[in-house]
Amino acid sequence: MFIMTKTVTEILNTKYPLIQGPMAWLTDAKLVAAVCNAGGLGVLGTNAGQNTVTRDATENAERLRHQIHKVKKLTDKDFGVNILTASPDEKIDDDPFMKGFLDVAFEEHLKYYVVVGAPNEAVFQAIKAHDGIIIFRPMTPTIATMVQAEALGADILVATGRDEGGILPAQEYGTFTVVPTMVDAVSIPVLAAGGINDKRGVNAALALGAQGVFIGTRFLATKEAPTAENVKELMIKSTYHDLTQVSASQRSLKTGAAQKLAQDYQQNHDGPKMDEAINALGGLLPAMVKGDVNAGIITSNTGIDLIRDIPTVAELIDRLMVDYKN
């Protein structure tokens, strides 16, 4: 089905076919602007620039607006925002947090939307009505979901392997398996995600048929990232063997909290229960943002062995894309 007319760089108006994953708490204006200025597309996550939880949808949306204004002061390039969709049929008005994010993004004339979750027709239509570009990333990529998202108007799709950090796909597809499968199923560009930490990962993704890359974990250990400094140092000293499964959909470095969670998961094999326990601890906030490494989890992709320094974002992107030819 390979009949694509526009390249990723043409769609994104970037130097490189590279998108920085939104990563919830672990993005902010500084990181996003740095990615944009270095030739990629930076994306603000759902709690970008924050270190406290709010249950108020209006406050949450205004926090996003503040970060958008900060990005605009740091770059003249376009950037994106993360929209989470829980189900295909959910109405925008039924989710005040999603509605607040969309309203602010539309009011601020943002062009790029990284929609993560389900291919929701109402959300896609609203974004298109505001001349937005949709980068769609299902939590668990399947051919049916990718085809549906293309039919609904997605501009770029993201195929994520279980090599990734963050919330893992429900099936055991690795990046090398999922990327060519999804590329063959659709006619719009597909980006590879999961375990890409250096130029070899980028080159492999392109060789598999991806038209670009979607990278999260590697940006956590950069100078501009809001990741706690002690966590950055821990990441560059860690290896694959320092990771442990804390639920069916999450892994962590072996922090004090993570080891207890892993023990419980080995006993109960109850993924949803463990995800609730992780959320009760604060998710990524206590360890990765606040630096209390034993109070929460520290997520990473499985290629953590390849993360060995803390470069600037510009240095990292230069390394990642050194072999890329437009």
Residues 180-202: what's their mean pLDDT? 98
Find tokens 């937005």 and name the residue.
Answer: 132
Same domain, residue pair 126 and 44: yes
If one counts every other C-beta atom within 10 angstroms of the C-beta of residue 236, the result is: 12
Q: Is residue 39 part of a domain?
A: yes
Q: Is residue 233 part of a domain?
A: no
Residues 81-93: what's their mean pLDDT? 95
pLDDT at 160 over 90: yes
The predicted structure's pLDDT at residue 326? 72
The predicted structure's pLDDT at residue 201? 98
Question: How confident is the model over 163-175, as pLDDT tens digits?
Answer: 999 999 999 999 9
Helices (H), the chain: 8-12, 29-37, 57-74, 96-107, 121-129, 143-152, 175-183, 199-207, 217-220, 229-237, 256-268, 271-281, 313-320
Same domain, residue pair 201 and 284: no
Q: Is residue 229 part of a domain?
A: no
Percent of the chain with pLDDT over 70: 98
Separation of alpha carbons 262 and 271, rounded Å? 11
Same domain, residue pair 125 and 244: no
The predicted structure's pLDDT at residue 4? 56
Same domain, residue pair 115 and 191: yes
Separation of alpha carbons 15 and 5, rounded Å? 18
Same domain, residue pair 182 and 263: no
Same domain, residue pair 204 and 244: no
Question: How confident is the model over 121-152, as pLDDT tens digits?
Answer: 999 999 999 999 999 999 999 999 999 999 99
Residue among 208, 171, 209, 203 nearest 188 (CA) = 209
pLDDT at 1 over 60: no
Question: How confident is the model over 242-286, as pLDDT tens digits?
Answer: 999 999 999 999 999 999 999 999 999 999 999 999 999 999 999
Separation of alpha carbons 65 and 190, rounded Å? 29
Q: Is residue 194 part of a domain?
A: yes
The predicted structure's pLDDT at residue 266? 95
Question: How confident is the model over 33-65, as pLDDT tens digits?
Answer: 999 999 999 999 999 999 999 999 999 999 999
Number of domains observed in the structure of the chain: 2
Helix (H) or strand (E) holding 156: strand 156-160
Separation of alpha carbons 110 and 22, rounded Å? 15
| 3 state DSSP class of 135 | strand
Same domain, residue pair 172 and 91: yes
| Strand partners for 158 | 191
Q: Is residue 231 part of a domain?
A: no
Residue among 56, 66, 64 nearest 83 (CA) = 64
Query: What is the domain extent for residue 284?
Result: 239-299
Q: Is residue 59 part of a domain?
A: yes
Q: Is residue 65 part of a domain?
A: yes
Question: How confident is the model over 198-222, as pLDDT tens digits?
Answer: 999 999 999 999 999 999 999 999 9
Same domain, residue pair 170 and 269: no
Same domain, residue pair 313 and 248: no
Distance from chain centroid for Cα 192: 12
The predicted structure's pLDDT at residue 325? 80
Q: Is residue 13 part of a domain?
A: yes
Cα R_g (the chain), whole angstroms: 18
Which amino acid is residue 162, in one-letter code?
R
DSSP code string of 243-288: EEEEETTEEEE--HHHHHHHHHHHHH--HHHHHHHHHHHTTTIIII
Average pLDDT of the chain, as a whole number? 96
Q: How confident is the model at residue 3 (pLDDT cuts 50, 70, 90)?
A: low
Separation of alpha carbons 39 and 15, rounded Å? 5
Q: For position 195, which CATH number holds?
A: 3.20.20.70
Question: How confident is the model over 227-241, as pLDDT tens digits?
Answer: 999 999 999 999 999
Residue among 229, 270, 231 nearest 249 (CA) = 270
Separation of alpha carbons 293 and 275, rounded Å? 18
Q: Which residue has the higher pLDDT, 321 or 4?
A: 321
Percent of the chain with pLDDT over 90: 97
Same domain, residue pair 134 and 255: no
The CA-based dihedral angle spanning residues 313, 314, 317, 321, taken in that order and rounded to the nearest 10 degrees: 180
Separation of alpha carbons 1 and 142, rounded Å? 16
Separation of alpha carbons 25 and 241, rounded Å? 25
- Say how many CA atoms lie within 13 Å of 169 toward its Cβ: 21
If one counts every other C-beta atom within 10 angstroms of the C-beta of residue 294, the result is: 12
Find tokens 């590279």 and name the residue.
Answer: 18
Separation of alpha carbons 209 and 273, rounded Å? 37
Same domain, residue pair 125 and 261: no
Same domain, residue pair 219 and 246: no
Q: How far from 90 is each of 139, 140, 303, CA to CA, in Å?
A: 16, 18, 35
Separation of alpha carbons 271 and 309, rounded Å? 33
